[in-house]
């Protein structure tokens, strides 16, 4: 029997998502179905999918249910799961707000990377507490064609390699994941950011996302870039006791990232819902055959 699944489409700095509201976690979303929905030619199209589930109804989130009513069950465009999505969590919050499921003020959202707090205003940009960055020691090298660069390993719940380059064009077409070494540093793959300076405390980046390819923005990536750039610039809020803010331009817009003396990182940026509709499960089944 065919069923109709309601979906919405939204984006944050053009990192775009198919949103599937499913409070009781009754919709089966295997990786092939997610990939079919995210397909830009044969599906709805998106860098990833935000499955909106009550924390109490999902085995990956039930332990967080007392803290956060809603769980962002995030999937990459290829159907794989990831720990966290910084643009996604703002879009997720915007959906809850517009659906009347969340009110203005602070809202806790469960993710596979832990509970994140989003500050929802009536409208305008959304700020999210992204937690702390981990900066494991050790040298990583990222390459594109004949060029290679040392990269900073930054973990924002999910893994990132941040490489400073002379020209964002040197990242090439980014149709395939940039090779990195040693392979043992990122056993589950990595998101790779290429960064150039624009002005003091202002950079621009391109990103190849694990499981999605090149995207027009990555929120966790922008946080990783801000922290890696701050350390490169000799700025460490934990040492100076003063917050540091970086402006990070991405192909799809601009994000503002502040690192506080306690290590907590806040990211501010836009989040919009642009469309909604329904898909027939029979059509989806046909698409995944
Ligand atoms: N676009 C996201 C990151 C999504 C997850 C990433 N592709 C991964 O696999 O870690 C963001 O805005 O943070």
Say whether 86 counts as a known binding-site residue: yes
Question: What average pLDDT does the segment 93-106 reach?
Answer: 96
The model carries a pTM of: 0.97
For the CA of 215, the nearest atom of ligand 1: 1
Say whether 25 counts as a known binding-site residue: no
- Within a 10 A sphere around the Cβ of 232, how many other Cβ atoms? 14
- The predicted pLDDT at position 280 comes to 87
- The predicted pLDDT at position 152 comes to 98
ω into residue 182 within 30 of 0, thus cis? Answer: yes
Neighbour-count burial of 32, counting CB atoms closer than 10 A to its CB (0-12 exposed, 13-18 middle, 19+ buried): middle
Instruction: Say how many Å lie between the CA of residue 240 and the centre of ligand 1.
Output: 30
- Which pLDDT band holds residue 283 (cuts at 50, 70, 90)? confident
For the CA of 84, the nearest atom of ligand 1: 5
For the CA of 218, the nearest atom of ligand 1: 12
The percentage of residues in the chain with a pLDDT greater than 90, rounded to a whole number, is 93
Say whether 210 counts as a known binding-site residue: yes
Say whether 76 counts as a known binding-site residue: yes
Say whether 191 counts as a known binding-site residue: yes
Does residue 73 contact residue 89 with C-beta atoms inside 8 Å? no
Which of 11, 14, 76, 227 to mutate for ligand 1's pocket (most ligand atoms within 8 Å of CB)?
76
Q: pLDDT of 102-111, one tens digit each?
A: 999 999 999 9
Instruction: Say how many Å lie between the CA of residue 138 and the centre of ligand 1.
Output: 23
Does residue 155 contact residue 134 with C-beta atoms inside 8 Å? yes
For the CA of 221, the nearest atom of ligand 1: 13
Instruction: Say how many Å lie between the CA of residue 184 and the centre of ligand 1.
Output: 20
Instruction: Say how many Å lie between the CA of residue 2 and the centre of ligand 1.
Output: 32
- The predicted pLDDT at position 9 comes to 98
The answer to whether the Cα torsion of 80, 83, 88, 94 is positive or negative is: positive
- Which residues lie with the beta carbon below 6 Å from any ligand 1 atom? 15, 48, 76, 82, 85-88, 158, 191, 209-212, 215, 218-220
Radius of gyration of the chain measured on its C-alpha atoms: 19
In the predicted structure, residue 287 carries a pLDDT above the cut 80 = no
Q: pLDDT of 9-54, one tens digit each?
A: 999 999 999 999 999 999 999 999 999 999 999 999 999 999 999 9
Domains in the chain and their CATH numbers?
4-125+271-288 (3.10.310.10), 140-269 (3.10.310.10)
- The predicted pLDDT at position 289 comes to 65
Instruction: Say how many Å lie between the CA of residue 83 and the centre of ligand 1.
Output: 8
- Within a 10 A sphere around the Cβ of 166, how many other Cβ atoms? 10
Catalytic positions are 85, 218
Query: Residue 155 and residue 82: Cα distance in Å, rounded?
Result: 12
């Amino acid at each position: 029997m065919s069923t109709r699944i309601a979906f919405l489409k939204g984006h944050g700095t053009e990192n775009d998502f198919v949103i599937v509201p499913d409070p009781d976690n009754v919709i089966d979303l295997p990786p092939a179905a997610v990939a079919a929905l995210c397909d830009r030619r044969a599906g709805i199209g998106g860098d990833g999918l935000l499955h909106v589930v009550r924390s109490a109804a999902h085995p990956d989130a039930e332990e967080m249910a007392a803290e956060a009513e809603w769980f962002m069950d995030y999937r990459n465009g290829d159907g794989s799961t990831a720990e966290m999505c910084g643009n996604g969590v703002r879009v997720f919050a915007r959906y809850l707000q517009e659906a009347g499921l969340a009110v203005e003020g602070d809202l806790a959202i469960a993710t596979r990377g832990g509970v994140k707090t989003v500050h929802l205003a009536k409208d305008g940009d959304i700020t999210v507490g992204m937690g702390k960055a981990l900066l494991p020691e050790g040298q990583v090298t990222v390459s594109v064609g004949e060029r290679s660069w040392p990269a900073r390993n930054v973990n924002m719940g999910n893994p990132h390699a941040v490489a400073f380059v002379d020209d964002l064009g040197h990242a090439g077409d980014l149709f395939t994941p940039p090779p990195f070494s040693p392979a043992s540093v990122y056993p589950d793959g990595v998101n790779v950011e290429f960064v150039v300076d624009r002005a003091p405390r202002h950079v621009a980046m391109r990103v190849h996302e694990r499981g999605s390819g090149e995207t027009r923005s990555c929120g966790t990536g922008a946080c990783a870039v801000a922290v890696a750039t701050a350390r490169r610039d000799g700025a460490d809020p934990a040492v100076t006791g003063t917050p540091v803010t970086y402006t990070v331009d991405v192909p799809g817009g601009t994000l503002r990232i502040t690192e506080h003396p306690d290590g907590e990182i806040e990211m501010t940026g836009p989040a919009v819902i642009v469309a909604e509709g329904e898909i027939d499960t029979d059509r989806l089944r046909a698409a995944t055959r």
